[in-house]
Structure formats: C-alpha cells, structure tokens
Amino acid sequence: MKLVAAAKVRRAQEAVINGRPFAETLVDFLYNINEQVQLEDVDVPLTSVRPVKKVALVVIAGDRGLCGGFNTGILKKAESRIAELKGIGLDYVVISVGKKGNSYFRRRPNIPVDRFIERESFPTAKEAQTIADDVFSLFVSEEVDKVELLYTKFVSLVKSNPVIQTLLPLSAKGEVCDVNGNCVDAKEDEYFRLTTKGGKLSVAMDTLRSSNNKREEFSPNLQFEQDPVQILDAVMPLYLNSQVLRALQESLASELAARMGAMSSATDNAVELKKTLSMAYNRERQAKITGEILEIVAGAEALQ
C-alpha cells in the first residue's frame, strides 16, 4: 500500500503545484477588476459583503482510512469552527465532501448538513462544479452570508495543515485568506520527486517560487470594452470552480502523503515485530534444544 500511495501522490502533487499559480492569479485578477468597477456602481452578488448571520462550511475529508490522523485532523478543525460559531451566536450549515466526513456527520444529527457529496478517485472540474453550484445558490439566495472551505493544505510529504479559507465573499486583499484574514497563499512550493538511491525508495526535494511574489497592479486607466458586469459574471463561476478544485487537489495530495507515511510506519513496525518475534522464537528453540541435550546427558550418566 505504501508503493501504491507513493505512485498516486506524485500525480496528486503535480496537480497541486500546477494548479496553484492559476488559482492565485485568478483571485488577484478578480480583485483588481473589482477595484476598478467599484467607481461604476456595479452590483456583483458574489463580492457583496453583508452582515454575517449564517455561515456555510464546506468540509472536505477523505474517502478511506489507513492514513494516520488525516481525517481526524480536518474533522476536529470543523468541530472547533462550529463551536466557535456557536460561541458568537451565528448559525451554520455544513456541506460534507468525502465518505469519512459523510459518515461522521450522519452520526451527529444535531449538526445541520445541507448536502452530502461523494468524492471521485481524482478531483475533476465537474466534481468541483457540483460543489461550486451548491455554494453559489446558497450565497446568492442569501441563505448564507459567508462560505468557508475547510480542507487539508498540502505542505510536504511529511506535513499537512488543516486550514479554513474564506471562499465567499471575495477577499478584499486579492488573496486567498483564512477566517482570520491571514493569507494562505503558497509563497514557495516544495516539490518532491520519488527516486531510488542505493536500491531503496528515496525522496528528492525542489523548491518552486509562487507567482504571487511578482504581482502587478492593474492600470488605473484601464477601460473595459465589455460591460464589467458581463466580465465578472463570466469570471466569478470560474473563480469558484478553481478554488474548490484547488481545495480538492490539496486534500487528496495530503491524504495520499499521509497514507504513504502511515503505511511506511506500519511496514517499519511490522519489520520490528518480525525481528522481535524471531528473537523470541530463537530463544525458545534454543532453550528447548538445550533442555533436551541436558536430559540426554543426564540419562547417559545415570546408566553408567
């Protein structure tokens, strides 16, 4: 299972690394357009900030176990956020993604769940669009005033962090921010390559700079040939889809990395257990042989 997870994590990791620049640049692009059209009194529902009375929590968990504390970590993060919202008197609703999360929330009828969504084996734009459509309808109909993504951010093969990202309304900073307004954009990506060294599986690490380090402001004299409302209406669904797809990819890469680590630990423990049992067996076998030899010697001496 370690080798299977190792083969899959490479593909998931590449999807995360390749998808981050597009998602982050799209957020920056939308922010700059939104800044330009503020003077034109354009009403864009997905960017409207209103008093928060109810929050939608999109919780992305895994489909399978045997991955260490991956599922436990994100579900604890969700429980902590729910308790925090209750503490400040806000309503909430959960959109659960993944079999482990679905079974967890089904066992807790006191937590309101808008929808249970099954994950595919590998994240696709179609799967992300299903979640984005549900989020869009909740926010535009004003059933919720804020949408937050809870997923596990992929950092490295040995580290992943459960994070809370504000999905809607669009961040005022032009960044992907957490619930406290802190940027969660990746400044540098650690890229891991699986190689062989001395006949054994090893990991080589490279560092990639994020495109966020060289952002440029739009010209204040920028003019739109099309109606700004049409531009934003066309781009905002793409923004939702890209952010949800990014979260799904990050979560899958974190899950596979956690499974690879868990299976590696299980293998090491099995090798150690085999070594311990072999030593115990050899001691017992040697003790039995020694006892039989002593009986033979004692019997021979008794006959003399």
pLDDT tens string 248-273: 988 888 888 888 888 777 778 888 89
What pLDDT is attached to residue 279? 92
Catalytic residue among 27, 37, 67, 262: 67
243: tokens are 């952010």
Specify whether 67 is catalytic: yes
What pLDDT is attached to residue 218? 54
92 phi/psi in degrees, rounded to 5: -150, 160
Please state, in angstroms and as integers, the Cα–Cα distance from residue 60 to each residue in 182, 214, 260, 265, following that order. 20, 31, 19, 25
Distance CA 26, CA 272 (A): 50
pTM across the whole model: 0.73
What pLDDT is attached to residue 281? 93
What pLDDT is attached to residue 189? 42
Distance CA 114, CA 118 (A): 14
Q: What 3-state class would DSSP assign to 199?
A: coil
The torsion of the CA quartet 238, 241, 243, 245, rounded to 10 degrees, works out to: -140
What pLDDT is attached to residue 88? 86
Looking up tokens 């030899």 gives 293
What pLDDT is attached to residue 242? 85
Q: What's the first-to-final CA gap in the chain, in angstroms?
A: 63
Distance CA 153, CA 163 (A): 6
**How does DSSP classify residue 212?**
G
Alpha helices for 113-227 (secondary structure H): 125-140
What pLDDT is attached to residue 106? 92
79: tokens are 């429980």
Distance CA 24, CA 175 (A): 7
25 phi/psi in degrees, rounded to 5: -70, -35
Distance CA 194, CA 202 (A): 6
> From first to last of its 304 residues, what are the pLDDT tens digits of the chain?
666 767 677 777 777 777 777 777 777 777 666 666 655 555 666 667 778 888 899 999 988 888 888 889 999 999 999 998 888 888 999 999 989 999 999 999 899 998 898 887 788 888 888 899 898 888 888 898 888 889 998 887 778 889 888 888 775 544 445 455 554 444 444 444 444 555 554 444 444 444 444 445 555 566 667 776 677 777 778 888 888 888 898 888 888 888 888 877 777 888 889 999 999 999 999 999 998 898 888 888 888 7
